[in-house]
Every structure is written in C-alpha cells, then in structure tokens.
Homo-oligomer: A and B are copies of this chain.
Amino acid sequence: MSDASTNRLEQLLGRFAAGDRLALARLITLVENRHPSVARVMERLYNPAAQAHVVGVTGPPGAGKSTLIDRLVNRLRARKQQVAVLAIDPSSPFSGGAVLGDRVRMGDHYADPGVYIRSLSTRGSHGGLSRAARQIVILLEAFKFDVIIVETAGVGQTELDIMDLAHTTVVVTVPEGGDGIQIMKAGLNEIADIFVVNKADRDGADRVKAELELNVHLRADNGWRPPVLLTQAANDRGVEALVAQLDKHREYLREHTDPQAQRQHRAHEFIEILTGQIEERTRNAMSNGRAHEIMESVSAGKLNPYAAARMLLDDPSALGALLSKSGGDC
C-alpha cells in the first residue's frame, strides 16, 4: 500500500474516531466493495469490549418487522440511546428494495442524528454477505452506537448465519394460518431469544402464541426461556414490553457469561475471519496475475480444479506467494 493511500486511510479513521458519519458511511462502502484495506480497518477498530447491544430481528416477509423496528427505535430514542439499523432483507423498505411501491416508514428517523440506517445489498454477494454484516457491525460498535438492530428476512441459511452476530435475536411472526409451524420449519425457533407475534389483533394470535410457548416449553432449559410477546406495531402496542424483554435478556447475558461458550465463539469467529481473508487474498491474487499459470490452465479447462487446489496447498512457497499481501487504494 502506498504512503498516499495509507495517509488517506489514516485520515478516514481519524474522522471516524471523531464521530464523522460520512467517514462511517465511507468505511461501510469499503466493506461492501471488499476493499483490500478492510482487514487493516477491522484490526484497528475491532473491540472485544464493545458495549453496544446487537439485536437481531428476523421472521418471514410480511410479518411487519420494519414497522416493529420503527416503533422500537422510537422507544430507544426516547431514552436517548444512539441506534443503528442494518437491513439485510431485500424486501425491507429500509433497503430501498421496494420493487413496487412499499411505503418507506422510516422517513422520520432519517432526519434524526441519533439514528443511523443502512441497508446491505444481497445481490451478487456469493457467500460474502455474513462476512460483510459482521464487519459492518464491528464498525457500528466502534462508532459507539448503544443499540445495533440487524434485520434479515429470516428465510434462508445465510440469513440464519447472520443472526449469529446478535446478542439477542427477536423472531417476529403473525397470526396467519400455520405461521408458527413455518417458523419451526425454517429453524427460527432454535435461534429465538424473544418471540413476537405481531398484528396480534388478527384472529389466531393466541393460538400461535400457545404453539410457540409449547415449543419453548419442550426445549431443553438453558436458563433463558424465550418469552412470547403479542404486539401491534402499526398501533404502537406491545412495544414497551419488547423493550423490557430486550433489557432483561441483555442483563441475563451479563450475569450468565459462559467462559466455554465464549471461547468457542471466539474460535469460530477467528476461523471465519482467517478463511475470509484467505479467500479475499486468493481472489486478488487470481485477478492480479499471480498464480496466473495455474488459473489459466483451470480456466481453459485443461486442469482439474481439485488437482490444482491440491498442488497449491501442498506447496507452501506457492501458497505463500499467492497469499502475500497486495496493496490497494481507498
């Protein structure tokens, strides 16, 4: 990396540390673009003692997650907390992903300096989505938000993986026929710390609540028993109880640290980071002309890609050359 680009990065980090939102936005864009300097930025900003409460909100499309988050943000702002919302749901109004006229409900918050809203596009990310989400959460933690809300559509494996980032995961559903069962099918019940049955003025809310409570009851008791809350986000009902449960779960986590689970979490995170960086470096090497010969043979269909991978991996010097760090302007 050249001195000039190092200086630019240092300036950017300086502005970020001073609370400049444009610097935050710029760093998030570097993450989205998989810029080579991201690893360095993460090394600088990663803080294992970050104080933010990371809250995941997930559930099927149409459950009213965005409206619920809107109301939740209102409550958190009323007690002067700084809130960030990271939307990874392509159908979320936060994502601007409204194909045909979804109302953007969060309009009020965009003008509030205590709220930061950002969406992360899922298109073409090819496996990099949960890595990008992890990195953006690190940026938002370093920016000292009190609460970071991560919204996913809760419908696929990547979306489930992303919920691993959250300290507290809220699974939102609606009273419609079979919705409790859909939640269980999708594996969402296994990750829920709090269930919310939204649009609870509709028929069937009590039945879905009972189904979910039965499911909680049948689970092994690990100390925290996920509550099932009824809300009507559109009418701003039940949101206070959600805030209370979020606080309670956070308190629970503080009082019940499991050193073994923490160790495992850190080990898992490290492997994700290490392999992610290897992948990024490999991609750069391939496009930058190193490892060019092997890549050419594979691309031309002359070399079995599995044989090529073994050749590279069994030759530490070739691998070292492949992965030696390349620069990159930002």
Chain A residues proximal to chain B, CB less than 8 Å:
39, 42-43, 46, 48, 61, 90-91, 97, 99-100, 122-123, 125-127, 129-130, 153, 155-159, 161, 181-182, 184-187, 262-264, 266-267, 269-271, 273-275, 277-279, 281-283, 286, 295, 298-301, 304-310, 312-314, 316-317, 319-321, 323-325
In the complex, residue of chain B having the shortest beta-carbon distance to the beta carbon of A307: B43
Cβ–Cβ contact B299 & A267, under 8 A: yes
Cβ–Cβ contact A277 & B316, under 8 A: no
Other-chain contact of A184, B61, B99, B269, B283 (Cβ < 8 Å)? B99
Cβ–Cβ contact B299 & A271, under 8 A: no
Cβ–Cβ contact B274 & A309, under 8 A: yes
Cβ–Cβ contact B310 & A123, under 8 A: no
Q: A307 — which chain B residues lie within 8 A by C-beta?
A: 43
A287 CB to closest chain B CB, in angstroms?
Answer: 9
Q: A316 — which chain B residues lie within 8 A by C-beta?
A: 316-317, 319-321, 323-324
Q: A320-B320, A325-B313 are in contact. Are A270 and B156 (CB under 8 A)?
A: no
Q: A99-B181, A153-B155, A278-B278 are in contact. Are A325 and B320 (CB under 8 A)?
A: no
A9 CB to closest chain B CB, in angstroms?
Answer: 15
Q: A263-B299, A269-B305 are in contact. Are A157 and B122 (CB under 8 A)?
A: yes
Q: A299-B267, A301-B48 are in contact. Are A97 and B161 (CB under 8 A)?
A: no
Cβ–Cβ contact A43 & B127, under 8 A: no
Other-chain contact of A186, B48, B90, B267, B314 (Cβ < 8 Å)? B90
Going nearest first, the 10 A-B pairs with the smallest beta carbon separation are A156-B156, A316-B320, A43-B306, A155-B155, A157-B158, A275-B279, A270-B305, A263-B299, A274-B309, A270-B298
Cβ–Cβ contact A187 & B90, under 8 A: yes
Q: A313 — which chain B residues lie within 8 A by C-beta?
A: 274, 277-278, 281, 323, 325
Cβ–Cβ contact A185 & B97, under 8 A: yes
**Given A266-B300, A269-B305, 19 further pairs, Cβ under 8 A:** A39-B306, A90-B185, A91-B186, A99-B185, A267-B295, A270-B298, A270-B308, A271-B279, A271-B283, A273-B305, A274-B282, A274-B309, A275-B278, A278-B279, A281-B313, A316-B320, A316-B323, A316-B324, A319-B320
In whole angstroms, what is the CA distance A309 to B278 when docked? 9
Q: A126 — which chain B residues lie within 8 A by C-beta?
A: 161
Other-chain contact of A157, B125, B277, B278, B301 (Cβ < 8 Å)? B125
Other-chain contact of A271, B161, B187, B286 (Cβ < 8 Å)? B286
In whole angstroms, what is the CA distance A122 to B187 when docked? 9
Sampled A-B contacts (8; CB under 8 Å) = A97-B185, A125-B157, A274-B305, A278-B282, A313-B325, A316-B319, A316-B323, A319-B320
